């Protein structure tokens, strides 16, 4: 999708600090990190949010890759937070499905 920033990153039209890439998925560091580890995992395919897909295979792969990268980036021992914001009440600001992974410090709960 032309005006989608994450589609543009997936197509190499906007630079990002990529961590992982395959035919289906891309992971990159968040441009405004909220923790020492803060990266995003996205499908390359434009899916607006988690409520707009029933592709359980893709969703499984997204989560699996997020978990593997969290371990690779040092979060195995103390853990991390895996977050999917959805639409306005969920605080989603980029309308392209993504999982946030935040780690490297204790995180408060509940969110504001």
Binding site for ligand AMP (CB under 6 A): 5, 14, 16, 28, 30-32, 85, 91-94
The β-bridge partners of 25 are 43
Rounded to a whole number of angstroms, the minimum distance from the CB of residue 30 to ligand AMP is 5
For residues 24 and 30, which CB has a smaller minimum distance to ligand AMP in the complex?
A: 30
Distance CA 70, CA 3 (A): 29
Which of the 8 DSSP states describes residue 51? Answer: G
Task: Please identify, using beta-carbon distances, which residue of 77 and 90 lies nearer to ligand AMP.
Answer: 90
- Nearest approach, Cβ of residue 60 and ligand AMP (Å): 20
Give the nearer residue to ligand AMP in terms of CB position, either 21 or 77.
Answer: 21
38 is catalytic: no
Q: For residues 89 and 78, what is the distance between their CA atoms, to the nearest angstrom?
A: 29
Report the alpha-carbon distance of residue 44 to residue 96 in Å, rounded. Answer: 9
Give the end-to-end CA distance of the chain in Å, rounded to a whole number.
Answer: 31
Q: Mind telling me the catalytic residues?
A: 98
């Amino acid at each position: 999708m032309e005006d989608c920033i994450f589609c543009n990153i997936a197509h190499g039209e906007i630079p990002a600090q990529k961590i992982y890439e395959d035919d289906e998925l891309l992971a990159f560091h968040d441009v405004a990190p909220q923790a020492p580890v803060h990266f995003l995992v996205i499908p390359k395919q434009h899916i607006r949010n988690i409520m707009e897909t029933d592709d359980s295979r893709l969703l499984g792969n997204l989560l699996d890759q997020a978990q593997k990268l969290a371990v690779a980036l040092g979060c195995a021992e103390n853990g991390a937070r895996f977050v999917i914001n959805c639409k306005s009440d969920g605080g989603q600001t980029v309308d392209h499905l993504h999982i946030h992974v935040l780690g490297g410090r204790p995180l408060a709960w509940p969110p504001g």
